[in-house]
Structure 1
């Protein structure tokens, strides 16, 4: 499923910004499920809660603060380094190397960035396993963002300022529509990545979150194919 890109619309792009989890690697790899389990275990151990209660609180923190970490810091003053190290202690062999994606990213003109709510180590390990790490100019992680996660505007402001990015010359790829709201306001072209064989039609995607419709320019379940189409010019 792809909302076909117009290559002419991307001719001006000099900065290509990619989320990591469920964007650069496919949703069906299920890698993030390992992190999710680790976060639940962390909350359970920290607060001496049964697993089901810890998971309920974890999701509550995520919804209210944008990330579980931000919520734990605000409410319980946890050490961010300890949290990030423990929840990203996972098996990256779940990811299959993706040479076609690497070739598509390498062919893009200009700079390429990873912009993630995870930490740099996680992004490096995942990108290295995919075989795409060397194609990126930099990784902007949750630490670089001052531990303020997307979709907070402060996070994007720090990223744009650090790398001197002009929104009109940039495109952002994300698996969460709410994380495209600020990039769209900054003038970026926005692309929503959905799981492979995603069933709802383009219009139906917005049924549960219709206010995001104007923030997304393109939708695709095939990042490699999308980038290849963009470069068809």
Structure 2
């Protein structure tokens, strides 16, 4: 995998952070809806929550805590994280995702470091990237396990502390952790996401931001893309070389990066 660590470049931006679900592929794929159904089924079958309460609870927890999973933990439900992810993602219709050679060529033509930043677990992220044919387009994946390690790791103490709840987007703390883990300068990093609140938090953390799947700007967004495929028309500066700084070397990732 080409990390771009050795490239001598003079670009305005040094790193591109991409959300994955409903950003690298369209919401119309149906995976989002299927995932929500799986989460509701898990709440019914494994947590034994009253059926009449589940749909509203699922939505309210998502809005309040970033993910329904995070919210369930906060309100006192105990369950295994891996089991939850396996249930929510293990039965998704991944076959609906097809290779995307257009996006692949766009990504490979970008001189910057490219990193996935998702709330999902690593297994899901790898499956999605493989289905899209983008598995070798990214330097690494910052995912659920990256932000919520099973145990403390000494050399990552700066990035991780003992959290009483799950660390995830849209919390600004999650963005700040991702910035440290990826070892990037937020002022030279662009963040792409389909979520309005994630974009707002990314901006609060100092990142340049792009809302994907929207034709108009939303609060905190610097750019808006109807589709990730419109990236070159909307942000040509990604490919532009700054002649005044032709020997700038992009910094390599920190050891905390979870590689796909």
Distance 2:232 2:122 in 1: 24
Does the CA-based 8 Å contact 1:127-1:133 persist in structure 2? Answer: yes
Gaps of 5+ in 2: 1-9, 149-165, 241-260
Tell me the CA shift for residue 50 of structure 1: 5.3
Matches within 5 A, 1:143-162: 143-146=145-148, 147-162=166-181
State how 1:74-153 maps to structure 2 within 5 Å.
Answer: 74-75=74-75, 76-89=77-90, 90-146=92-148, 147-153=166-172
Q: Which has the higher helix share?
A: 1
Tell me if the contact between 2:195 and 2:211 (Cα under 8 Å) persists in the aligned partners.
yes
- Asked if residue 29 in structure 1 is aligned to residue 29 in structure 2, the reply is yes
Partner of residue 60, structure 1? 60
TM-score by length of 1: 0.83
CA distance in 2, matches of 1:168, 1:125: 31
Larger radius of gyration: 2
TM norm structure 2:
0.75
Structure 1's unaligned 5+ residue stretches are 1-9, 207-212
Provide the aligned C-alpha RMSD in A. 2.0
Structure 2 counterparts to residues 198-217 of structure 1, below 5 A:
202=216, 206=218, 213=219, 215-217=220-222
Single out whichever of 151-160 and 221-230 deviates more from structure 2: 221-230
Residue 56 of structure 1: how far off its partner (Å): 1.9
2:232 and 2:121 mapped to 1: Cα distance? 25
Deviates most, 182-191 or 108-117:
182-191
- Bigger shift: 181-190 or 125-134? 181-190
Distance 1:30 1:91 in 2: 8
* Contact 2:210-2:223 at 8 Å conserved across structures: yes
Contact 1:73–1:80 under 8 Å retained in 2: no
Aligned-partner Cα distance in 2 for 1:12–1:72: 41
